[in-house]
Amino acid sequence: MSEHADDIMGKAYDARLMRRLLAYARPYIGWLMLALIIVMTVAGVELVRPYVIKLAIDDHMSGYSQPMLVFEPDQVPEDVPERLRAYHDGLVYVKQTGLPKGFSEGDALEVAVVDDPDTVAALRAHDIRRIGNLSMLLILAGIASFGLNYAKSILLHSIGQRIVLNVRTELFTHLEHMDLAFFDRNPVGRLVTRLTNDTETLNEVYTSVLVNLFKDVFTLAGIVVVMFRLSPGLALVSVSTLPLIIIATVLFRVKARDAYRKVRAALARINASLSENISGMRIVQVFNREAHKYSEFKATNAEFYSAGVGEMMVYAVFRPTVEFVATFALSVLVWYGGARVLRGAMPFGLVYAFVNYIEMFFGPINALTEKYNMLQAAMASSERIFQLMDTRPAITDAPLALPIERARGRIEFKNVWFAYNEGEWVLRDVSFTIEPGQMVAFVGATGAGKTSIISLINRFYDVQKGEILLDGINVKELRLADLRRSVATVLQDVFLFTGDIKTNIRLNEKGIADERVREVAKHVNADHFISRLPRGYDEPVTERGSTLSAGQRQLLAFARALAFDPAILVLDEATSSIDTDTEMLIQDALPRLIAGRTTIVVAHRLSTVQHADKIIVLHKGKIRESGTHQELLARHGFYYDLYRLQYTDSPAAPELAASAAPATSQG
């Protein structure tokens, strides 16, 4: 990972990355705005609840021990709220609790304590109806909050999953177009993590952080505004502990960042260890290294455990600190407000409302710490994802790439030099020509450059010097899709996908019908074993074709190549690891396979290339000899030596040596 990426690991927010993340949300901006309106409404509904309870307590549950104002109906001042009025015997009774500031009692008929049972009963009935109305309002608020929260969750998670779907699709498509050198440098486990874990981490940004962050901030601001509107004195007392929260948050941010970096680094190490050990379990068991590998994993696992405990300790200190500050704020409020309630200077319902608002106030603060952690994870994941997306493939189409309808199959290498790593030449000044319809074989010791030639024909890599021509056109000037459609390769290690037999033959190409699948299977003699399977061509294939033999997998690979009807067929050690019976089946099918197409064979077993039109002998990246089987044997050169080494124990070896005339090698 780059230094910049390491730096991101320590930052909770990066504006550049956030802009790129928001770009994926732009198509859903309308839905996100709707979600924002919903969460704001939910926050508003939650702010109303304590106030409704305050009204029930101050306006209807208490006040009869205090004198009430009595008015003629037409004499009640307009600024007296309807909720404070009660009617009995043609008079209007008004409680003094909750009256507007500056209200004058001068217009009242009298100020009296109501103690008449009939009047008290009538006023109580009025209050019970009002309390019932307020209770219904609370129920409706709860139902509305439930419905809105449900809609918000569905909406945000739907948007988040759609965005992650788009990101994952874009990332997978990008990986499909990367050159093979990229996959040589990047382990599969790391790429899978980018496509799964890292993209899923982004989901938290869109579902939990992006919109809900506004809700938490709005709730905090709304609580402060409501408290100051109700009672500036109580509000000041309530927010007096904010400096403690700010200090604790700043300290938490620093400690959490360091702890998070340690956890992510330890997690990366344990994932790498697991991937390597599980993939290599066969070797571990063959060499009886279970105890040693267990010790290695135990140490890595312990490191991850320690990092996780360290992160937990940061949160274990911060959250109780916030709870303690909240309790301290409540205690100060109870002391300050309780004394005023006892002196009659403040209604009890107001203090009760403030107790609720303080409890609500510290909830979003704890939620913001969770979002801070999510944001750290999202920034780290997005950095890794965008770093991968910004990696450009080394092999791309030229700006004016030429299409190919159907290649003739003429291949020419002109003074080709190639190296996987700079300065370490694998091919040195290689030149040869393969005419359409020819069968040409490449032989040589391991590392001679045979497979590299195959990779260059497919343009999996680009040459550093020289050029490769297909039908007289430089492969760099051809469209990659057309070039690779013209070449079908059968490898030694056959890769089969999870699915069924026919899907693995046509690789989900809809243009290849079931009849064509059966036809090519018969051509390569694969139908013999497929027809004996319980479900025939619909027989399930497990991962990598583990339920099929090596020979059966190889026959399916031949059928796959033939199904796509390529102009050029490449057999890269295609028969080196199969049994004799399967090789006989392939040898029988080979004339049908190569008919009408250029064929390139890479082989160690020289018995498979004796009938090639031309055999090219490679040694240390250079062409040492070329010719037919008999011509090369007659020269007593590199090919002769290779052949003699393979057939030293064969009865034909002495006869071969006696019949071959001495010759000087071209190498």
| Per-residue buried b or exposed e for 629-638, using 16+ beta carbons within 10 Å of the residue's own CB | beebbbbbbb
pLDDT of residue 431: 95
Q: What is the CATH number of the domain that holds 239?
A: 1.20.1560.10
Give the angle subtended at the CA of 154 by the CAs of 151 and 160, to the nearest 5°: 135
Quick check: 5 pLDDT over 50? no
pLDDT of residue 568: 92
Alpha-carbon distance of 656 to 647, in angstroms, equals: 10
Q: Are residues 420 and 290 in the same domain?
A: no
Q: Are residues 134 and 199 in the same domain?
A: yes
Alpha-carbon distance of 151 to 520, in angstroms, equals: 54
pLDDT of residue 660: 45
Scanning the structure block, which residue is given the tokens 């200190």?
A: 317
Q: What share of residues in the chain are helix, strand, coil (percent, to 5)?
A: 60, 15, 25
Q: Are residues 133 and 280 in the same domain?
A: yes
- DSSP conformational letter for 346: S
Domain presence at residue 516: yes
Q: Are residues 189 and 40 in the same domain?
A: yes
Alpha-carbon distance of 519 to 538, in angstroms, equals: 15
Q: Are residues 460 and 345 in the same domain?
A: no
Summarize pLDDT for 504-531 with one digit per residue, the tens.
898 888 888 889 999 889 888 888 889 8
pLDDT band at 330 (very low <50, low <70, confident <90, very high): confident
441 bridge partner residues? 601, 615
pLDDT of residue 477: 93
pLDDT band at 171 (very low <50, low <70, confident <90, very high): very high
Summarize pLDDT for 221-259 with one digit per residue, the tens.
999 999 998 888 888 988 888 888 888 877 887 787 778
Q: Are residues 477 and 498 in the same domain?
A: no
What secondary structure does DSSP assign to 228-284, as a single string?
HHH-HHHHHHHGGGHHHHHHHHHHHHHHHHHHHHHHHHHHHHHHHHHHHHHHTHHHH
pLDDT of residue 627: 93
Nearest to 90 by CA among 106, 76, 79: 76
Q: Are 461 and 474 a contacting pair, CB within 8 Å?
A: no
Q: Are 646 and 606 a contacting pair, CB within 8 Å?
A: yes
Summarize pLDDT for 411-440 with one digit per residue, the tens.
999 999 999 888 889 999 999 999 999 999
List the single range of 10-14, 300-304, 459-463, 651-655 with lowest mean pLDDT.
651-655
Alpha-carbon distance of 295 to 274, in angstroms, equals: 13
Q: Are 36 and 206 a contacting pair, CB within 8 Å?
A: no
Which strands, in side-by-side order, build the sheet including 473-474? 424-434, 411-421, 465-470, 473-474
86 bridge partner residues? 93
Quick check: 335 pLDDT over 80? yes
Domain limits for position 641? 410-486+568-575+597-662
Domain presence at residue 521: yes
pLDDT of residue 284: 84
Q: Are residues 465 and 606 in the same domain?
A: yes
Summarize pLDDT for 553-565 with one digit per residue, the tens.
888 888 888 888 8
Please tell me whether residue 495 adopts helix, strand or coil conformation: coil
Domain presence at residue 70: no
Domain presence at residue 394: no
Scanning the structure block, which residue is given the tokens 């050690």?
A: 573
Torsion of CA 302, 306, 307, 311, to 10 degrees: 150
Summarize pLDDT for 178-213 with one digit per residue, the tens.
888 888 788 777 788 788 888 888 888 888 887 888
List the single range of 119-128, 155-164, 560-569, 642-651 with lowest mean pLDDT.
642-651
Q: Are residues 251 and 378 in the same domain?
A: yes
pLDDT of residue 63: 57
Total domains, the chain = 3
Q: Give the other-Cβ count within 10 Å of 281's Cβ.
A: 12
Q: Give the CA radius of gyration of the chain.
A: 40
Residues with Cβ within 8 Å of residue 104, at least 6 apart in sequence: 77
Residue 183 falls in which region: left (phi positive, over 0), alpha (psi -120 to 50) or beta: alpha
Q: Are residues 511 and 604 in the same domain?
A: no
Q: Are 403 and 575 a contacting pair, CB within 8 Å?
A: no
Q: Are residues 504 and 381 in the same domain?
A: no
Summarize pLDDT for 262-300 with one digit per residue, the tens.
887 788 788 778 877 887 887 888 888 888 888 888 998
Residue type, 441: A
Residue type, 491: L
Q: Are residues 373 and 435 in the same domain?
A: no
Quick check: 650 pLDDT over 70? no
Residue type, 186: N
Summarize pLDDT for 315-325 with one digit per residue, the tens.
788 878 888 88
Domain presence at residue 231: yes
* Average pLDDT value for residue range 533-539: 89
pLDDT of residue 2: 40
pLDDT of residue 473: 93
Nearest to 141 by CA among 68, 47, 249, 253: 47
| Mean pLDDT over each residue of the chain, to the nearest integer | 83
* Average pLDDT value for residue range 133-144: 92
Domain presence at residue 254: yes
pLDDT of residue 468: 95
Q: Are 326 and 248 a contacting pair, CB within 8 Å?
A: no
Q: What percent of the chain has pLDDT over 70?
A: 90
* Average pLDDT value for residue range 359-378: 81
Alpha-carbon distance of 147 to 375, in angstroms, equals: 28
Q: Are residues 221 and 281 in the same domain?
A: yes
CA distances to 23, 512, 546, 575, 592 from 556, in Å: 44, 15, 13, 13, 15
Q: What is the CATH number of the domain that holds 516?
A: 3.40.50.300
Domain presence at residue 64: no
Q: Which two tokens stand for residue 541?
A: 């294939």
Alpha-carbon distance of 146 to 424, in angstroms, equals: 67
Summarize pLDDT for 590-600 with one digit per residue, the tens.
787 788 889 99
Identify how many contiguous H helices and E strands the chain contains and give both numbers.
23, 16
Alpha-carbon distance of 82 to 75, in angstroms, equals: 14
Nearest to 515 by CA among 415, 190, 505: 505
Q: What percent of the chain has pLDDT over 90?
A: 21
Domain presence at residue 156: yes
